[in-house]
Amino acid sequence: LQQRRGLRLSAPAAIQVTVRDALNQALDEELERDERVFLLGEEVAQYDGAYKISRGLWKKYGDKRVIDTPISEMGFAGIAVGAAMAGLRPVCEFMTFNFSMQAIDQVINSAAKSCYMSAGSISVPIVFRGPNGASAGVAAQHSQCFAAWYGHCPGLKVVSPWSSEDAKGLLKASIRDDNPVVMLESELLYGVPFEMSEQAQSKEFVIPIGKAKIEKQGTHVTLVAHSRPVGHCLEAAAVLSKEGVECEVINLRTIRPMDIETVEASVVKTNHLVTVEGGWPQFGVGAEICARIMEGPAFNYLDAPAVRVTGADVPMPYAKILEDNSIPQVKDIVFAVKKALNI
């Protein structure tokens, strides 16, 4: 009626949504959409999830779709892989990805390699998800980044969201994918609100796996990061902008397959490259990006060596002051950019 009267109807505005709620929304929508999808893990059902990601889902979908498991990662990951081989689409939550080391045989040998070893006759549509990398004050055995570990393995897809849109779109894409996907979330981002567009609020919103996003356009240096360090890069870019340095910030989103084309195109434009990650330096994600740039056409456009900003090459300390100095901070990124630009 209002349209007939010639009144302009405004589209639903973007809203603020936390990463936690975006993940919950994605799980809810996919459980509703496909009866083959189910969630299992420690405390995901009656307790609503250790981080409240699965809040309300057990009450809505019941014991067969949202399943509490014993503290036995190797056991429930194996059950999930078998269920995927039999035609279901499990979402297997690790309370932290550090605990996935208990189940790494299931993730790598059973899930990642079965399609290849069966000449394509066995698909394993499973998502392994949970918090990855540093949290706060939980020391070395709970603070490791597994992006390089799982990104190393053919047969897996590996995604690493930053914003709420990333979290929702990548989780939905991962659940719908016919390959095993490792989804590395950040515990420190769960409670952080991000703007979610009208498009992202749709039940059919997915983000293609293997496609990076340019979060900020720039001309002087390319910053490439994934997960929480994307935010640090944007903060560093704001600081540097006041000094006349315009950074292009790329949110990698996917570790494997890596969207190196977007990085190459940016380096061709800016002639400088800085990679940022929370993981250790040796054989890391940044090391892979630098190698791929060196081997490809963008290398000839670099005006200076690429610079890596990484976590410190030590097991994560417990003491807060040491922990802060073991994780890349905004000042470290600013320093690296100035080093790359020789200013």
Q: Would you please indicate which residues are annotated as catalytic (active-site) residues?
A: 73, 142
Q: Where are the alpha helices (DSSP H) in 34-176?
A: 57-61, 73-85, 104-105, 113-117, 147-151, 164-176
Rounded to 5 degrees, φ, ψ at 331 are -65, -35
**Considering Cα of 203, then 209, then 215, then 218, what sign does the dihedral take?**
negative
The two three-digit tokens of residue 171, written as one number? 């989780």
Q: 80: Cβ–Cβ under 8 A, 6 or more apart, which residues?
A: 40, 90, 92, 106, 126
Tell me which H or E stretch contains 340: helix 330-341
Q: Sheet holding 254-256: strands in order across?
A: 66-68, 37-41, 89-93, 127-131, 181-185, 157-159, 254-256
Rounded to 5 degrees, φ, ψ at 40 are -140, 155
Nearest to 171 by CA among 19, 13, 50, 67: 19
Alpha-carbon gap, residue 134 to 25, rounded angstroms: 25
Rg (CA), the chain: 21
The two three-digit tokens of residue 149, written as one number? 């570990």
| 8 Å CB contact between 230 and 251 | yes
3-class secondary structure per residue, 262-307: HHHHHHHHHCCEEEECCCCCCCCHHHHHHHHHHHCHHHHHCCCCCE
